[in-house]
Amino acid sequence: MLTEIERRFKPERLVIVGSKLERNGFVDPEIVRKEKGKKLNDRPDEEYTAVKHYGDTKLCNQMLVTTLAERWPETKVFSVSPGMVNTGLWRNFPMWFQILTWPVRNVGLRTSEDAALGVVYACASGEGEEW
């Protein structure tokens, strides 16, 4: 698929949204190839959670950033992590955790709109052109 994209389109700048949860991600490239992307690792189903899957997919994003930066040296490739954001991802945590952290999340975490500003800046800013 990447080869097809390369034939049609190579942007001057590419911004992919990352997350610190990628550090908890687990991706096995051999399994991804064998399963044609339908499975990312050999994690048992009983260990699967939405939060773990989110970390796995964010690790995939980071792997894509690394690959594109190597394959497209003329393209400015950025990974932007907006930080802790009060989004719907929290619904995947246990209810007791949601209740316990609700005051902190509502006061201390960024809104989706605020978090998007850094991503938009990375997309639209002229900074980074000299990199």
What is the chain's mean pLDDT, rounded? Answer: 87
Of 89 and 114, the structure prediction assigns the larger pLDDT to 114
pTM for the structure as a whole: 0.76
> What pLDDT is stored for residue 127 in this prediction?
66
> How far apart are alpha carbons 69 and 61 in whole angstroms?
12
* Residues 70, 6: Cα–Cα separation, whole Å: 13
Q: Of the candidates 57, 63, 88, 95, which has an alpha carbon nearest to the alpha carbon of residue 77?
A: 63
Each residue's pLDDT tens digit, 17-31: 998 889 999 999 999
Residue 102: phi, psi to the nearest 5? Answer: -55, -50
Predicted local confidence at residue 89, as pLDDT: 80
**Among the listed residues 13, 19, 2, 11, the one whose alpha carbon sits nearest the alpha carbon of residue 77:** 13
